[in-house]
Amino acid sequence: MNVVDIESTLQTLRHKAFEELRSLQDVRALDDWRVQYLGKKSELTQISRQMGALSPEERPVVGEKVNEARGALQRAYEEMQAELAQRELNRRFAEETIDVTVPGRRHARGSMHPLTQIIQEIEEVFLGMGYEVVEGPEIETDEYNFEKLNLPKHHPARDMQDTFYLTETLLLRTQTSPMQVRTMERMRPHVPVKVIVPGKVYRRDEDDATHSHMFHQIEGLVVDEGVRMSDLKGTLEHFARAIFGANQSVRLRPSFFPFTEPSAELDIRCTNCGGSGCRMCKGTGWLEILGCGMVHPKVLDGAGYDSRRYSGFAFGMGPERIAMLKYGIEDIRLLYQNDLRLLRQFNRVL
């Protein structure tokens, strides 16, 4: 064996090894290739062993050649190894690819009834202003539902509220206002009184698109020394902005309720047209949203707060009307029909 032979053998070997390497498909074949070309029994190892037969001058030259060949094969092996690993990974990814458009496993969220949602929202607004939430009986006495609210028997204003009577003296409350009196009687002589009263009320009305024999009200009552009608207006403006948007504005219009004097209706800017006038607001740009006023001196005195010293305001609103305005529900009966196709739309967080 001479240097030239060895060199030519190495040349052939490298050529053959690279060719084979290029055709490899998997890690096992690569392993076999490594054993064959870089292993203990490989041709390269055998060539190294034969180097003893060379002259001392030739030996380093050939050694260098062999090492160079080994290095080249080793690098090629590592590159191929990385490439195969990458190919393997790619194959796995291809295999494991899923359709991300398939719907996920969801937990049905359930839904809160729109009325509860509105009532809760309004409660939060007034809780934030320091109001206590109180509730009262739906079956009321004539005395609390009417008489103590300055609505004596046979008063024509009783016609405003056709009543379901249970007995001569017991009835289904037509308003949450009796809780004004009950609350004052419970709290006197303590001030300030600051409560809201959500609850169901009943009127002897034929059910239609705008009337329901059962509906909800939220009553508000504040009694203290020096409570002004301007405080009522400011409080309700705060409420209107919280519920209908920060740019809302309100106006008070004179009205009549037996248990407030002065009395007013509160209008907000039409939620549909923003005030320019449309069918919903009958062209006025305003929507009537609630009734309110300063607690009538007779009611205050009757409930134990001297009207010469204390004053108060009260308001009463209908969550149905607010829900209908807010969500564009056009028929009040839909709120009591409980069609899940409607209710399930209320599974969202506002």
| Residue 331, CA distances (Å) to 52, 210, 212, 222 in order | 105, 6, 10, 33
Q: Give which of Zn ion, other proteins, none residue 272 binds (C-beta under 5 to 8 Å, depending on kind).
A: Zn ion
Q: How many residues bind Zn ion (CB under 5 A)?
A: 6
Q: Give which of other proteins, Zn ion, none residue 337 binds (C-beta under 5 to 8 Å, depending on kind).
A: other proteins
- Minimum CB separation from other proteins for residue 150, in Å? 11
Q: Which is nearer to other proteins, 7 or 261 (CB)?
A: 261
Q: Which is nearer to Zn ion, 51 or 278 (CB)?
A: 278
Please spell the DSSP secondary structure of 196-256, one letter per residue. EEEEEEE------SS--SEEEEEEEEEEETT--HHHHHHHHHHHHHHHH-TT--EEEEEEE
Q: Which is nearer to Zn ion, 152 or 245 (CB)?
A: 245
Q: What is the DSSP letter of 26?
A: S
3-state secondary structure of 317: strand
In the window 185-244, what residues touch Zn ion (CB under 5 A)? none
In the window 256-295, what residues touch Zn ion (CB under 5 A)? 270, 272-273, 278, 280-281
Q: Give which of other proteins, Zn ion, none residue 134 binds (C-beta under 5 to 8 Å, depending on kind).
A: other proteins
- Minimum CB separation from other proteins for residue 134, in Å? 8
- How far is Cα 220 from Cα 227, in angstroms, rounded to an integer? 14
What tokens appear for 54 in the block? Answer: 């060379």
Q: Give which of Zn ion, other proteins, none residue 311 binds (C-beta under 5 to 8 Å, depending on kind).
A: other proteins
Q: Give which of Zn ion, other proteins, none residue 210 binds (C-beta under 5 to 8 Å, depending on kind).
A: none
Q: Which is nearer to Zn ion, 72 or 278 (CB)?
A: 278
- Side-chain-side CA neighbours of residue 316 (13 Å): 21
Strands 139-141 and 260-269, by their bridges, are unpaired
- Minimum CB separation from other proteins for residue 332, in Å? 12
CB 212, CB 318: distance < 8 Å: no
Q: Which is nearer to other proteins, 82 or 133 (CB)?
A: 133
Count Cβ atoms within 10 A of the Cβ of residue 337 and give its class: 0-12 exposed, 13-18 middle, 19 or more buried.
Answer: exposed
- Minimum CB separation from other proteins for residue 44, in Å? 55
- Minimum CB separation from other proteins for residue 169, in Å? 9
3-state secondary structure of 23: coil
Q: Which is nearer to Zn ion, 270 or 300 (CB)?
A: 270
Residue ranges binding Zn ion (CB under 5 A): 270, 272-273, 278, 280-281
